[in-house]
Chains A and B, each alone.
Chain A
């Protein structure tokens, strides 16, 4: 036995003794799973940098830039973050391939913020079987909050169904005799909203909804749907669409001089990338709900959180368009992971990361609206559950009403 080996065994036994002495207390002793060490934490990520959903690629770039910033500031508890991101082109088979590469070849600690409902569904079973955290997925489907069946999967943003329930509640209160038209994108995103909305209206869904119209993302314009909806005699438009189509709808409504009570989803509320292209004059009075601040909205110029965000964008994402909501989203979700890893301290096992992720208490990211915080527990894997309603006026959104918690909507 060489001296070295002796030393190693000695250290090992001390470690065990120390472990026994502290009763396995997490923070006292350094513990690592694959993907973490004294110097490094490996984070895996999947993003559609190419293909039809390439507009979301900016989220991955923002996250990479965020961790670059953290590394330059000394890392997380002294460890550098190694952020490995792959392009799945929004194709589930490619997402599976890359996830397996991240887990089996790159040996990451967690798979963080993979984007898209189909891609996440494709990798969920694999990651849960491997007991690798699938943390803060970038999709608003309701199914990510299911700790009993999928204890290794956690969402982040408010889910689409809950958001739609909030709109339903608002309508029932403010305009119970509304004649509602529903326009939705024919995919998981649009259908989740429709489901939540109908559940929110309950028995009144049948009598209130006068027309349901879907469109495919491959359609260049949805003008003809708007024409049809307007002809239905509806006075309220639930617009469950992605940014480009929301902008088209707002603009077309303006051109048609049709002024229904118009609600858009919170993915399509960017002032710079939806409301401005649609024309501010057409967007007056449009309603929505938000949980994050808007990077291009001047009302946040003096907000301390957004000042940090602006400094970050100027230094690490120079030249990018602040109106792109992906920059805010990516920053917020990366900051949440940062917080979780900080909380995990020196106990960087996958189990502990998951445990810490499930013990967020009133965590406020720089980019969330004032008063809206992240909360999780062992039985609640939905971090963001609060939104505020808002109305578009002039060239910005005006918040109104209280913070609405969406978890009670079931």
Chain B
């Protein structure tokens, strides 16, 4: 607490330092390189790596959803695991009990979560900062217990969970289940990413960001706070639900233990590491939460938690603003090289 900017930031709500609007997306060249890399990747690696990268994409969607809420509208949520769980269970129940095609469960999960998120947004209107964090946190903590509830055990499988069938590639495509699911997830991720970038560029997105930067000023400019804040919650929850549904299909299993508060923490870390408010960073954040625990336990079994913590500290010391900061370095470096 040593600079003047700090005390300005303390006035309220500015949990997020505003990234310039242009920085929301990714440069054109970089986008194409990424896309091509993702398209050819499965041809080069083993099935289990394809599965891992699928999980990165899925968590990437969930982190992106949190980013829309926190980076986009300045609301802080520790409850994303609850929406992820609802999406996962919605998909699992529809596939296993309803016989619904897996692809159709995604929009269903998205809509269900959108509604739950939207409703959740109402009490959230009255709360801000840490109090909102507690409300969402309560939701995340309560979710595994709700899923275990005896009354709905017939549908949810209770503590035993539900095993989900993995889809085969359609039209007799000569592709393994993993590869097909990867491309399917990739397509969904790209669609969600593009839609999110456009959402934040749109009128609604600008309204949300105005709320993030200064609630009272935004309201004075005629932004309807309650609509946009609840909308941000709904959209974020809906996207998280889609990620949850994809996760259920990829892992082929849902159980209360998969969706504890630890998952909410992981998604939160993914957002911080990726850079709050920078959507492409979600992918980097997701890669962090999938791979860094593996690296940590590779160093030591007994101290895997400690090494995870150390690695996390290393990242936030080097780039306190997350992957966005790293990307900006890289871009300046790249431009310098090109000019010289």
Chain A residues within 8 Å of B, Cβ to Cβ: 49-52, 54, 57, 60-61, 64, 85-87, 89-94, 96-97, 100-101, 103-105, 116-118, 121-122, 124-126, 186-188, 191, 216, 218
Contacts and interface: CB of A to CB of B under 8 A. Distances in A.
A52 B260 contact: yes
A191 B158 contact: yes
28 contacts: A49-B297, A49-B302, A61-B302, A64-B301, A86-B294, A86-B297, A89-B293, A90-B257, A92-B253, A92-B255, A92-B258, A93-B251, A94-B293, A96-B253, A97-B51, A100-B47, A100-B48, A104-B48, A105-B48, A118-B161, A118-B255, A118-B257, A121-B160, A122-B251, A122-B258, A125-B252, A187-B159, A187-B256
Given A100-B51, A104-B47, A121-B255, A89 B158 contact: no
B62 to A, nearest CB: 12
B251 to A, nearest CB: 5
A404 to B, nearest CB: 27
Contacts of A101: 48, 52
B308 to A, nearest CB: 7
A61 B252 CA distance: 29
Interface string B38-58: 000000001111011001000
Interface in B308-322: 308
A86 B161 CA distance: 23
Given A87-B293, A105-B48, A216-B145, A93 B55 contact: yes
Given A125-B163, A186-B145, A118 B304 contact: no
Interface of B: 46-49, 51-52, 55, 141, 145, 148, 158-161, 163, 247, 251-253, 255-258, 260, 262-263, 290, 293-294, 297, 301-302, 304-305, 308
Contacts of A116: 257
Interface centre among B247, B251, B257, by most chain A C-beta atoms within 10 angstroms, is B257
Nearest to A123: B253
Contacts of A191: 158-159
B168 to A, nearest CB: 13
Interface centre among A49, A57, A218, by most chain B C-beta atoms within 10 angstroms, is A49
Contacts of A61: 301-302
B301 A121 contact: no
Contacts of B256: 118, 187
A91 B160 contact: no
Given A186-B159, A191-B158, 7 more contacts: A50-B297, A51-B305, A64-B301, A96-B253, A101-B52, A121-B161, A125-B163
A302 B12 CA distance: 69
Contacts of B159: 186-188, 191
A141 B52 CA distance: 29
A223 B332 CA distance: 61
The 4 residue pairs across chains A and B that have the minimum distance between CB atoms: A100-B48, A122-B253, A104-B48, A87-B297
Which secondary structure dominates chain B's binding surface?
helix
Contacts of A105: 46, 48-49
A42 to B, nearest CB: 15
Given A117-B160, A125-B252, A91 B258 contact: yes
Contacts of A94: 293
A187 B148 contact: yes
Contact of B258 (A93, A126, A186, A188): A93
A265 B234 CA distance: 45
Nearest to A96: B251
Contacts of A50: 293, 297, 304-305, 308
Contacts of B297: 49-50, 86-87
Contact of A92 (B251, B262, B293, B301): B251
A114 to B, nearest CB: 13
Contacts of A187: 148, 159, 256-257
A197 B226 CA distance: 52
A288 to B, nearest CB: 23
A121 B253 contact: yes
A96 B257 CA distance: 13
A89 B163 CA distance: 20
Contacts of B49: 105
A124 B163 CA distance: 10
Nearest to A90: B257
B301 A60 contact: yes
A187 B161 CA distance: 11
B252 A85 contact: no
Contact of A188 (B141, B160, B247, B262): B160
A92 B253 CA distance: 8
A118 B251 CA distance: 12
B52 A97 contact: yes
A89 B302 contact: no
A60 B148 CA distance: 29
Contacts of B294: 86
Contacts of B148: 186-187
Contacts of B160: 117, 121, 188
